[in-house]
Amino acid sequence: MEQEMNRFLGEEPVGKLMKKYAVPCIISLLVGALYNIVDQIFIANASYLGSYGNAANTVVFPLTVIALAVAVMIGDGCCAFVSISLGQNKLQDAKRSVGNAIGMAVVSSLILTAVYLIFAETILTMFGGTVNAETFRHSREYFFWISIGVPFYMFGQALNPIIRADGNPKFAMISTLAGAFVNIILDPVFIFAVKWGMKGAAVATILGQFVTAVLAVWYILHMKHINRVQVISARTG
């Protein structure tokens, strides 16, 4: 049974494997940046936000990239280790790696959120948020809410490569697309209908990231290969 699980990766043509794994991976990474683009579009079309709102979004964007970089570092590292462990039939090592990655994602995201909130004004000044009073006001509001959503964002992005390592790149892609879709739907509602301004754009983003994180949690509880193979090993051991 363990050999059957690894046969696909070991025997299928590289081109087929690239199509199955690389394309969903690329789409997932692009969607990770789509949140900012979508927010920019809707903010620019809100007359009460306009260029100041877009400037604030641009100031905060590098800080979300930092969160993404840490999450991808954790997720891709675990993904590689899980793949190697499964290939060597070291199932306990694979499971332990997933647990460590989840713990690291949670702890690092909470630390980063705390740093962002404690040093908010200093960080915004470093990234040009104090160029004028209006930009700073929008930047501070947007940055506060985006910081609150950092744990959801990092958790979903860190778990994404792990889901791919478990042999389900489509689910990894779908979970990120679902979050982006929620953001696209809620942005105009919160910005134009409710008129929450930068808070609305940020809350829409957070809810989208929350959806991705929830789907990731669901998948981790129903992993396709690691849990199943572990049960098989326990029965035959």
- Mapping DSSP onto H, E and C, the string for the chain reads CHHHHHHHHHHCCHHHHHHHHHHHHHHHHHHHHHHHHHHHHHHHCCCCCHHHHHHHHHHHHHHHHHHHHHHHHHHHHHHHHHHHHHHCCCHHHHHHHHHHHHHHHHHHHHHHHHHHHHCHHHHHHHCCCCCCHHHHHHHHHHHHHHHHCHHHHHHHHHHHHHHHHCCCHHHHHHHHHHHHHHHHHHHHHHHHHCCCCHHHHHHHHHHHHHHHHHHHHHHHHCCCCHHHHHHHHHHHC
* Confidence grade of residue 236 (pLDDT, cut at 50, 70, 90): very low
Query: Residue 1: its pLDDT value, please?
Result: 40
| Structural domain span for residue 111 | 2-236
Residues 153-178 have a mean pLDDT of: 90
Q: pLDDT of 99-108, one tens digit each?
A: 999 999 999 9
Query: Residue 17: its pLDDT value, please?
Result: 66
Q: pLDDT of 32-91, one tens digit each?
A: 677 788 888 999 899 889 889 999 999 999 999 999 999 999 999 998 998 888 778 888
Residues 177-204 have a mean pLDDT of: 94
Query: Residue 230: its pLDDT value, please?
Result: 41
Question: How many domains, the chain?
Answer: 1
* Confidence grade of residue 10 (pLDDT, cut at 50, 70, 90): low
* Confidence grade of residue 187 (pLDDT, cut at 50, 70, 90): very high
Looking at per-residue pLDDT, the higher value among 144 and 221 belongs to 144
What's the pTM?
0.86
| 233 has a pLDDT exceeding 50 | no
